[in-house]
Structure 1
Amino acid sequence: MEAERVHEIAILSRKSIPEEYIRSKNEQPGTTTVQGKVLEVPTVDFSDPDEEKLVRQVMEASRDWGMFQVVNHEIPSEVIRKLQAVGKHFFELPREEKEVYARPPGSNSLEGYGTRLQKEVDGKKCWVDHLFHKIWPPSAINFHFWPKNPPSYREANEEYAKHLHGVADKLFKCMSIGLGLEGHELKEAAGGDELEYLLKINYYPPCPRPDLALGVVAHTDMSTITILVPNEVQGLQAFKDGHWCVVKYFPNALVIHVGDQIEIISNGRYKSVLHRTTVSKDETRMSWPVFLEPPADFFVGPHPKLVNDNENPPKYKTKKYSDYAYCKLNKLPQ
């Protein structure tokens, strides 16, 4: 069992936070966030019947931002509400009930309840607890990490997973055509129907010094695409034009992040977004990202149709996804 969970530290912390949660000067959101500016990332309306327009919008957002929001995505609001409700219920349980689902010590898998995720630089920690588990495909699911309390947890997550497929396929198709590929080729290069949907629930309790701490430090996602649902508490920031800015969230939208694997497959034409998460002094922030990941043994590299030896040589290595993930989490060179 990990010695500390952020939820417990937050309850005890009234005016200050432990030293290990205070970020370095060049990371502290109180001084590095552009004040008074809200970043309005591109918004894509999935109900638009003009497919050429959709492709262009997704392509431009993936190229210029690495991030966008999707509205009218056809996932019923009630399905999302239930997903959020059961996740919130779990994190409000007593610690001993949550520890039943703790990530096993020394495990190479991310699945389970925990606090520490990756190698920590200078011993600094993030102000967040989390729960990871796969929600698709059925063959990859380990229900040991799915909470049994509340009893409706499984039903809510399975229903959400069922609705995500349409969104994911539409995203892959638009991105693929935007690269000049056939509609199916980008998804196939990322793992095809064997893509694994890894859900992470982030729980950021109130923090007495939100100017000094970060929920999640600056990073790009190692996935192909990340599809994220936040709660009503703002906290997502993106690095744009050399500055950290708050990302304006539109109600009922899905936040899309281009991940490292799409940047690799596109040979750099699409960019994985550098982002981080801040915390609130008075409110609990939560988010539900789903990372669409290639299978562990799947090899990912620049798509052969997007490279040539003369004008556009490969900018990235082709490597097994599990090897990429190991290097990323342990901050080793790729």
Structure 2
Amino acid sequence: MPPSTALPIIDLSPFLSPSSTPEQKRAAAAALNDACTTHGFFYLTAHGVPAELESRVLALARKFFLDTPAATKAAIQRLDPGAAGGDGARGYQRLGENVTQGASDHHEAIDFYRPVEAEEAVGGKGYGLLRGPNLWPDQPEGFRAAFEEYWKRLTQLGDAVMKAMAWALGYEGDEDVILRWTDQPFWVARVIGYPPLKGEGVSCGVHTDYGCTTFLLADDTPGSLQVLSKDGEWLDADMIKGCYVVNIGDMVSVMTNGLWQSTKHRVIHTGDRYRVSVPFFYEPNWDAVIKPLEKCVQKTGGAEKYGEVVYSAHLMGKVSGNFYSAATDGK
């Protein structure tokens, strides 16, 4: 039996199996609707991603942070736009370089985004913000192959969750209503290492996520990730074996006209060992124009509470403030 948790545990496997019945899908969608309405966070079980692959990416992440020479990390260091090959976001961030709400976070990380073809690059200034290639470490061996396979699996899982969300929002007859915004998702992925905090500070400050759905895989360090409940209480969201911690992002708030709200969360890691976290952010297409879905507008009083949002503009606005040295030139 899984441990007791304040967050619901959801099985969306009917949306992963071609043999599922409409009744099974409706039951799963109803549970998803309740979780997104009440918490904006849930545990996802029976997701179909191989446990061996999950274990491998966590082990490779830990090896990168704890065993890789500093020179290897520096070789893929994040560079501002204008520097040769820099795009302002992709690559390795040193301890304390990432910023949330204006304060330094106590973690190191590698950030990745959906690859951008070379011909999309901005000539003369390297790559514009978010428009460059991913930067891969040459150690540990097998890092790139494992993570690319992992993200492929999670993109497919994200597609299935978008269909489940459509059913949950009343679009049983048009289950691709959200997928039309996400059929080429500009996904984001982080590989994060958290040394234990010593004294004041936060490991990752209070924030909501930017896009559609976050799938979090982390080691079993307890008491680090915290979710803000609707009554203002911070709830621990420790990992449960075989589950992802999943949360909805800002674009889902727009799509649902506020029916589902992205939830604030933070990381405060005061344990006695190094914590490894591997979140994958399933996002809209780069050029998607997100607006409230009609059925959601009807369910929330008949008036649109959000205007249209171009996802690339939303993402660039967020990322441009994520680093102390980040440039704002997004061309």
TM-score range, shorter chain: 0.7 to 0.9
Residue type matched to 2:6 in 1? E
Match of 2:213 in 1: 225
> Map of 1:276-291 to 2, 5 A cutoff?
276-291=266-281
TM superposition shift of 1:138: 8.7
Does the 8 Å CA contact 1:137/1:197 hold for their aligned counterparts?
Answer: no
Q: Is the partner of 1:75 in helix, strand or coil?
A: coil
TM norm structure 1: 0.78
Match of 1:129 in 2: 108
CA distance in 1, matches of 2:211, 2:117: 19
Q: Does 2:78 correspond to 1:99?
A: no
> Map of 1:203-222 to 2, 5 A cutoff?
203-209=193-199, 212-222=200-210
Deviation digits for residues 137-196 of structure 1 (CA, Å, limit 9, x no counterpart): 9999966512221220121112212322332122111111111122110221xx332112
Aligned pair partner of 2:7 in 22, 37, 41: 41
CA distance in 2, matches of 1:281, 1:71: 26
Does the 8 Å CA contact 1:101/1:144 hold for their aligned counterparts?
Answer: no
Percent identity between matched residues is 24
Does the 8 Å CA contact 1:135/1:158 hold for their aligned counterparts?
Answer: no
Q: Is the partner of 2:270 in helix, strand or coil?
A: coil
Does the 8 Å CA contact 1:135/1:161 hold for their aligned counterparts?
Answer: no
Unpaired runs of 5+ residues, structure 2, are 15-19, 121-130, 322-331
Q: Does 2:265 correspond to 1:265?
A: no
Alignment RMSD: 2.6
Match of 1:301 in 2: 291
Does the 8 Å CA contact 2:197/2:203 hold for their aligned counterparts?
Answer: no
Q: Does 2:184 correspond to 1:199?
A: no
Match of 2:175 in 1: 183
Name which of structure 1's ranges 104-113 and 134-143 shifts more when overlaid on structure 2.
Answer: 134-143
Q: Given the superposition, is the C-alpha separation of residues 39 and 216 from structure 1 closer, same or farther in structure 2, using an over 3 Å criterion?
A: farther
Q: Is the partner of 1:218 in helix, strand or coil?
A: strand
Does the 8 Å CA contact 2:248/2:261 hold for their aligned counterparts?
Answer: yes
TM superposition shift of 1:219: 0.6
Match of 1:170 in 2: 160
Match of 2:328 in 1: none
Match of 1:152 in 2: 142
Q: Given the superposition, is the C-alpha separation of residues 311 and 243 from structure 1 closer, same or farther in structure 2, using an over 3 Å criterion?
A: closer
CA distance in 1, matches of 2:313, 2:117: 24
TM superposition shift of 1:83: 1.1
